[in-house]
Amino acid sequence: MGRLYVVGTPIGNLGDLTPRAAEAFRTADAVCCEDTRVTSKLLAHLDISRPLVRCDENVIATRAPQLVERMLAGETIAFASDAGMPSVSDPGQVLVDAAREAGVDVEVVPGPSACVTALVASGIPCEHFFFEGFLPRRHGERVRRLRELAAIPGALLFYESPHRIEATLVAIAEVFPARCVALCRELTKLHEEVLRDRAPELLETVRARGELRGEMVVVVAPPTADELASRTSIPVDACETDPDEALRGDIREALAAGEPASAIAKHLSQRYSRRKREVYDLVLELQDA
């Protein structure tokens, strides 16, 4: 029987690629990846040539069974996202789940992670933290989710893209006006930058700077004891709404907005504390309805 290597790759600086990661690519029969153009450059840097199989969030679920069959037949498959650790707000979880269900050995080759790097770089207390990934796209949904997270007694971490960062900071400033927030971008790269201030002031700084480039991680400081005491961990309307119906409603809204099934399953499984595969199956059901 073959095996699955889940390989962490650099988030910016190629010097962060581990010898063990290079060896995993070198010994694999094929390399699965988000974007073959990105991974081909990484393999060229290592002077490695391997067949590449595109497995982004739109196709990984359909290709997972075939890949598992190949591993059961004795092949070794390496999986890498474009940057960082697969499955952490990136594709990979579906393949890992399918491999484990089939009894295939799964070996994780640790590598850089943008969320942990940002948390440390921010200087914000990190004894406890909660990784959310990407917030919803619509302002109302974004604010609602932030309010649900408000009672968590730890730092909050979010991924964000340049064209949505201002809108995200607007919502954060609305829900957490007194908290310190760090915006970390271009991590490990030449122009790495960490901007830190109270949420409203950070929002104004970003507005004044104009367009910012690079992938971003936002770190929100934990609530103070007074803030924590004034909040409840259960939203007022949570007891009035059936969670299954609420989940179905959010799935329908996301489908109407054109979100990919895998992306919907990713963020809604976190929001509703459900298994991602369970939510993904429900997304497909409602998509075909």
H/E stretch holding 122: helix 114-122
Task: Profile the chain (289 residues) by mean pLDDT over runs of 10 residues.
Answer: 95 94 97 95 96 92 94 97 88 91 96 95 93 91 93 95 94 96 96 96 94 93 88 48 80 85 82 81 87
Query: Residue 176: its pLDDT value, please?
Result: 96
Query: Residue 137: its pLDDT value, please?
Result: 86
Q: What is the CA radius of gyration of the chain?
A: 20
Token pair of 233 as six digits: 């961990």
Between CA 58 and CA 218 the distance in angstroms is: 26
| pTM of the full structure | 0.77
Beta bridge partner(s), residue 217: 159, 184
Between CA 55 and CA 2 the distance in angstroms is: 19
**Do residues 140 and 200 make contact, with C-beta atoms less than 8 angstroms apart?**
no
Of 243, 242, 267, 245, nearest in space to 254 by CA: 267
Query: Residue 232: its pLDDT value, please?
Result: 52
**Do residues 83 and 63 make contact, with C-beta atoms less than 8 angstroms apart?**
no
Burial (CB count <10 Å: 0-12, 13-18, 19+), residue 51:
exposed
Query: Residue 263: its pLDDT value, please?
Result: 81
Query: Residue 15: its pLDDT value, please?
Result: 93
**Do residues 116 and 122 make contact, with C-beta atoms less than 8 angstroms apart?**
no
Burial code (b: 16+ CB inside 10 Å, e: under 16) for 120-149 equals ebbebebeebebbbbbbeeeebbbbbbbbb
The pLDDT tens digits for 65-99 are 999 999 999 999 999 999 999 988 788 889 999 99
Query: Residue 239: its pLDDT value, please?
Result: 41
Query: Residue 91: its pLDDT value, please?
Result: 84
- CA torsion, ordered 30, 81, 41, 76, to nearest 10 deg: -20
Query: Residue 236: its pLDDT value, please?
Result: 44
**Do residues 177 and 198 make contact, with C-beta atoms less than 8 angstroms apart?**
yes
H/E stretch holding 129: strand 129-134
The pLDDT tens digits for 24-68 are 999 999 999 999 999 999 999 999 999 999 998 888 989 999 999
Query: Residue 162: its pLDDT value, please?
Result: 92
Of 151, 152, 150, 169, nearest in space to 160 by CA: 169
Query: Residue 66: its pLDDT value, please?
Result: 95
Residues 6+ apart with CB under 8 A from 240: none
